[in-house]
Amino acid sequence: MPRIEDYETMTKISLTKEERGIVSGHMNMLLDSFKELGDIDVSGVEPLVSVLDITNDMRDDVAIKTLSREELLSNAPEQYDGYFQVPRTVD
């Protein structure tokens, strides 16, 4: 059985003891239900990534004006001198 704690580290989420109990309950129920998938013969079947039969529609390689620096920074929890501000990452 996979350990929830490993996935907490991976997803940068720290669960409380109570939350871990809830998530663990969901996980056990879901993993148990997923066993039925193992009975299906999928040999030779290609995975379905998108339901559309069309490929991604790429636009022309032409520069367009999108959001300004001010607009992009307007939702930043912290900013400094026109940049996103983060804690010190290099000692």
Partner 1 sequence: MGLFIENYNISGADAVALEDSIMEKGRGVTVGSRILKNFVSPFNATVVDRLLDNGFKIAGRANMDEFGLLKLSRDDDNMPTGAIRAVSDDVAAFSLCNDLFGRYRREATENDCCYIHPTYGTVSRYGLVPLASSMDQIGIVCKDLAQGFGLLSYISGKDPKDGAMFPESTYDYTKPAGEITLGVPKSVIEKADVDTQDAITEFIDGFANTEIDLEHFDLYSRVMYILSSAEISNNLSRYDGIKFGYRASNFSDLEDLYTKTRSEGFGPDAKSAIIMGAMMLSKDQYGAYYERAMKVRRLIKESIKFDRYNVIVLPCNIGDDPYENLSLYALSPLAGLPSVSFSYKGHGIQLIAGVKNEDLLLSTWEVCKA
Give the binding site for partner 1 (CB under 8 A). 2, 4, 7-8, 10-15, 19, 22-23, 26-27, 29-30, 33-34, 36-38, 40, 42, 45-52, 54, 56-59, 67, 71-72, 74-78, 84, 86-89
CA distance linking residue 26 with residue 14, whole number of Å: 17
Q: What is the DSSP letter of 12?
A: T
Q: Are 8 and 15 in contact (CB under 8 A)?
A: yes
Strand partners, 79: 84
Smallest separation, CB 31 to partner 1 (Å):
9
Smallest separation, CB 89 to partner 1 (Å):
5
| Distances 4 to 34, 51, 88 between C-alpha atoms, Å | 17, 32, 30
Nearer to partner 1, 71 or 81 (CB): 71
Smallest separation, CB 8 to partner 1 (Å):
7
